[in-house]
Structures are given as structure tokens and as C-alpha cells.
A and B are shown apart, each in its own frame.
Chain A
């Protein structure tokens, strides 16, 4: 149960479902979001994240389930009665009002006295550093400036929860990088609980404290960026976040602190147990940067050492990517950061190489 001081379970959805005729957009989603954290809903289009956000905002009525804010059910409240504010993907700034009026809009609806409105709008303009532009209309501002106005407008009423719909989607790449940090700084400075929706993993990983990976209306995993990246709980999540080498096989050994999987390229030793039955089909997931590559096998290594031929090399500036094909036909993706050791390695196309990784650097997944 949430109490006044506890930060946990501040915003909770209980078995939230949204059905459109036959299609289920949101399928029994249970989330528990902490007060003051930045929480991301990550998934590709059609996974239900936008519908979920709109239900939180009040633009869609849940088919069933509850939405609780500090223990109170808000699902029946209309958007204009909810203490949530949303920043829209298209910004949705009022074209017929200037920036000052845009930001003041929500405050005026509350009936705040003029002086308070004046002060609050001023605060918001300072927060996003757009003071001199107060009298301009939205079309007179650049995309980045419009976004800041949208943010200021959504924070003006000091909402209990801030909802961001693809906040960086409309910006070009250079602007996006810079804005990511600015946005997080502002949100943390204000201290508001924030739920953001995005399809861009980089955005989610950079900005959010915790991420919920969604697919087909369901939440597959919730965790910090590190947890999700290092310890994905399903094949989908492992594949969705970053790149991964997925090796299918059968569980051959299952002990309390380690296990082994028989795959096409050989037996792979993994440094954790899986509590399964020997013989069951599983997959081993290994991130490309965890794999080492070399022309000679390192001394003393007996496990997780394999060979193959370099078929493709891609140079990305700060790191190299090698595609190595094993004699069994398995393609492995290996990345190495650029540095002097790479020149020493002197690897080129059609070379026969060894690749290896540490027991604890791989993960066994069931589904």
C-alpha cells in the first residue's frame, strides 16, 4: 500500500486493457511507477505504448482495469480534470496565440489570479530559456524552440505526472542529442514524475531511469537501462535492444551455478543456471562487444572458443564490426573499439580468426 512518504507505487496501472472492436491494443498491463522517476514505454509502432499513454492522459477510456495515482482511481476522470499534463509529438501549440498565452492557457483555465499567472509563466520561460520570445507566435519559432514551448506549457500547471509522446521524434539528429540531456535536466529540476513513450532505444536508454519494453500490447520487461541491456528476459527484448548474437541450441548441462548449451558451433558454457530440464530448447545471447577476436587463440582458454572466417568488416569510426562465419554456417557479429590494439590485430577479409567470450558474458534465454 502506498503511503504519503513512500515513493513507490505512485502511478499504478492494474490489469489495464484497451480493446478497439476486435483488436486488443493494450493487454492487461500492470505497471508501478515511482514518484519523481522518468519512466519510458519503449516499443515499435503498434505495440500499444501510445494507446497506454493516451489512457493515462484520459483521451482513451480503458476497456477494463484501473489507473491509480497515489492510491486514487483516476480512470474515470476526464483529461481536463486529471492532474496529468501531456507534451504532444506534434507539440500542438495553439497557432493563434503567442508563446506567453500558450503557456498561460492552462493557468487561466484554473482561474489563477493575474499576478500568479504572470509569475508562473515567467518562471516557465526562464526554465526553457525562451524569455525574449514571449510575444512570438509558434510559426515564428524553430522546431527546437517550439518543443521547449510545448514543454514549458505542459509543466506550467505543476502536474503530478508529465506525459511525453515521442518527445524528440520531430527533431533532427544533431538537435536530438543536445535536447535529450536538456530535457532530462529540466524534468529532474522540476522533480515531476515523468512517463515517456518512444520507439527509439537510444532515447529511452539515455533519458529514462526505468524502461518498460512493450510488444503487441504487453509489457515484456521492466528495468533500468542497464538491466534490460545486460539481462534481457526474453529473446524479443534481447533482440530489440541493441544488437545480439542469438545461438539456438539444447540445454546439455544444468547446475546450480552454471549451465551449458549444445549449439551448432559447439558447446557453450554460461556462468549462470537456468533451472530447466536438460534437453530443452534454449538460446544463448551474446552481445557483439563482449566477443573478442584474434588471429591466435589466447593461451589457457578452453571454453567458449570458436573459429571462423571474416566475411565482412565495417568501419564506424569509434569501433569496428566484424561478421565472422563459422564452418557450420553461423554468422557472428563482433565489435571491437578502435585503438592501437586493432592495428596489432591486423585482421582483414577472408582471414581465419578465433573468437571467444567469458562465461559470464552470455545469457541463456528460453523464449
Chain B
């Protein structure tokens, strides 16, 4: 009885929910090729919205700005997240540890509006006092880094916790000084996590609306800000074209990555099995 339940009801539920999840994506892909502005009826195949996309300077400029902001804040987030993860995993006792832990994790649960508002107040305050910085790309990067650092830290922390610490001790035993240990042994082994943290921070930055809105200056508009502006004014299939390009590239990357990871894991498992078998054979030959 339970098997039937799981097999048919379960599959149905999964299918319907996946449909729900992918409906907006499919909708945008289909209607990006629509020949008219209409949202409900597919009147014919056309590439006009893709054409319009290339001519839309606001979107293109926004894209480049977002790319720069995301690259910069992703990098800063990854570096800071590595520091923070290291601190929390390795140093169990130091004054102010609970405060530190609270501060790092808070952006994960704070409403973005609160973060945006308080950062804006900070920027204005500093500006009043020192005449700098003007609100613009730099301020957005700083805001995104705060968020990216919090998310990135979760990833790196989990990897640090599962890493075998004995290899660091072994490195020291063999003559490596602490900073050599970090760069020669620790880093290579957590590198994948750092990369994941970077990508996570990059995505968050590229997609952010609220903090950008609070912290940007006149004439500085990230891509999400541009889209947000368009969205409030109504439907614009050019956006669908942009969305389709994004969806396709993300899908290709995600699938390629998953396949690569799966293949690496299988290869590794095969190698370990082969080595163990060889050992058994060698033993029997004695």
C-alpha cells in the first residue's frame, strides 16, 4: 500500500510541483519568441525582442555594471568568508566570539530592507563627515559583500569542518610554518568550497534589487534595478529575451557541472576499488 502511494502519488506530486517551479521559466522562454507584445496568445515566431535587447542601452549598461559589481563583491565575499570561516572553526575561544558569530550570521536572516537602510545611513553619515564616498558602484559592492560574506561563510565553514585536520599537523611536522600550511595544504583542500562561495556571492549580487536600490546613486543602475524599473511599468518582452538567454546559459553551466562532478566521483570510486582489489590479490599471493 505504501509503495503504491509513493510510486504514483509521489511521482504526481513531484511532477506538478516541478511544473509549478518551471512554469515561469518556460513561459518566458516561449514568449520571448512571440511576434507581438501579447502575453497570452502566441501569435508567431519572431526574434524581434532579441533584437530589441541588443539595442536597449539601459539593459546592456546595467548588465555590464552588474557584472563588474558581482565580480568585485564575489571576490571580496569569498576572501572575507574564508577568514570568517577559519576564525569560527579554528579559534574556539577568544573575546567577543559570540558577537562575531552573531554578526557574521545575521545578514542571513535580516530583512534586506533593514540592511539596506542601515548601510545607507552609514554611507550618508560618512559622506557628511568626509565628503566621500559618493553613492554608486563602490557602495553597492560594499553592501553586496556583507550579504555574500554571510552566505559564503556557510559553505566554507562546512567544508573546513569536514576536512581532516591531521594533514595540517603533518605539514607542520614536516617543517611548514603556519602560513605555509595554509597556502600549501589548507587552501588546495578547501578550494572547491571557496569557489562555490564565490559563485554564490556572485549570483546573489547579480540578482539583488533591494540593497542596490538603497545604495545606488543617480545614473547608476544595476541590471536588476533596470528590470525592476521596467517591471513596474508593465510587460516588456525584451525582458523575456534577456531571461531566456540567462536561463539557457545557467542551465548549460549547471548541467555541465553536475555531469562533471558525477563523472569525477565515479572515477574516484573506481580507482579506490581497484586499489583495494589489488591489495587483496597481493595478499593472497603471499
Contact = CB atoms under 8 A, between A and B. Distances in A.
Interface string A169-188: 00000110010000000000
A145 B283 CA distance: 12
A69 interface: no
B29 interface: no
Interface stretch (A102-110, A270-278, A331-339): A102-110
Max chain A Cβ within 10 angstroms of own Cβ: one of B184, B189, B268, B286: B184
B276 interface: yes
A157 B170 CA distance: 13
B166 interface: yes
Interface string A239-281: 0000000000000000000000000000000000000000000
B90 interface: no
A145 B279 contact: yes
Q: For chain B, give the interface size range.
A: 20 to 34
Nearest to B169: A59
Interface in B163-181: 164, 166-167, 169-177, 180
A142 interface: yes
A142 B278 contact: yes
Nearest to A174: B283
Interface string A68-108: 00000000001110001110111011111000000001100
B175 A175 contact: no
A145 B171 CA distance: 20
B176 A92 contact: no
Contacts, number: 81
A80 B173 contact: yes
Interface residues of A, number: 34
Contacts of B39: none
Given A92-B164, A109-B176, A79 B275 contact: no
B56 interface: no
A190 interface: no
B272 interface: yes
Given A140-B271, A175-B283, A94 B167 contact: yes
A89 B184 CA distance: 22
Nearest to B176: A109
A79 B268 contact: no
A306 to B, nearest CB: 45
B213 to A, nearest CB: 43
Given A105-B184, A139-B271, 9 more contacts: A57-B173, A80-B175, A84-B173, A85-B173, A88-B166, A110-B175, A140-B274, A153-B174, A157-B174
Interface of B: 164, 166-167, 169-177, 180, 184-185, 188-189, 268, 271-272, 274-276, 278-279, 283, 286
30 contacts: A58-B172, A58-B173, A59-B172, A79-B172, A80-B172, A80-B177, A85-B173, A88-B166, A88-B170, A92-B166, A92-B167, A92-B169, A95-B167, A96-B189, A105-B176, A106-B174, A109-B175, A110-B175, A139-B272, A139-B275, A140-B275, A141-B275, A142-B276, A142-B279, A143-B279, A145-B275, A145-B279, A153-B174, A157-B175, A175-B279
